[in-house]
Amino acid sequence: MMLGPLVIHGLLYGLVLSLGLLVVMGLSLALAPDMWVGDYPPDIRERYGEMSERGKRYRPLIAVLFFGLVIGVLVLALTRIPASPLSFGDWFVVAFVVLMTFNIFDLLILDGLMVLIQPSFMVLPGTEGMAGYRDFAFHARGALIGTVLSVVGGAVAALVAGLLA
């Protein structure tokens, strides 16, 4: 199949994934704001300390929702490609674009909010005004890791799709 339609298909499902994960992350912030403390810059993690018992209790539920949504959207995206026959490359492009769309959404929107605005619901108590919140390089490194995970996740998804087709 031609690359353009595959990329557009992946972008649409990537947007669905991004919005769905935004809801899951918002829910997690409402339940236990420190649930993501391990993903904050080092100075903030050090000052804040360990995740609360409440965060530890809700984290497995949020993890199931988070990864269930990722897998579910990937399955939908890969089973609804409007063409056949499909190759490993076709499935890889779609899966990679879906995952990479969320990676870019996370960097520009979620991390961008933290760096530029620092909304109170994203700032852990006792860490207000810390330098780590403005450390865009920290978030950019996270996006590079997310890019590698998008490549690996795209390859695994394409392999599974090819085996099941």
CA dihedral 127, 129, 131, 135 (to 10 degrees): 100
Instruction: Kindly state the helix (H) or strand (E) to which residue 112 belongs, with its residue range.
Output: helix 112-116
Q: What is the mean pLDDT of residues 12-36?
A: 96
Minimal CA–CA distance to 104: which of 72, 140, 155, 80?
A: 140
Mean pLDDT of the chain: 95
Which two three-digit tokens encode residue 104?
A: 């870019």
Q: Which residues contact 16 (CB under 8 A, 6 or more apart)?
A: 73
- Give percent of the chain above pLDDT 90: 88
Mean pLDDT of 59-83: 96
- pLDDT tens-digit series, residues 124-160: 999 999 999 999 999 999 999 999 999 999 999 999 9
Rounded distance, CA 104 to CA 90, Å?
A: 21
Question: Around 135, how many Cα atoms within 13 Å sit in the side-chain half-sphere?
Answer: 15
Domains of the chain: total? 1
Determine the structural domain holding residue 88 and report its residue range. 3-164
Per-residue confidence band for 116, with pLDDT thresholds at 50, 70 and 90: confident
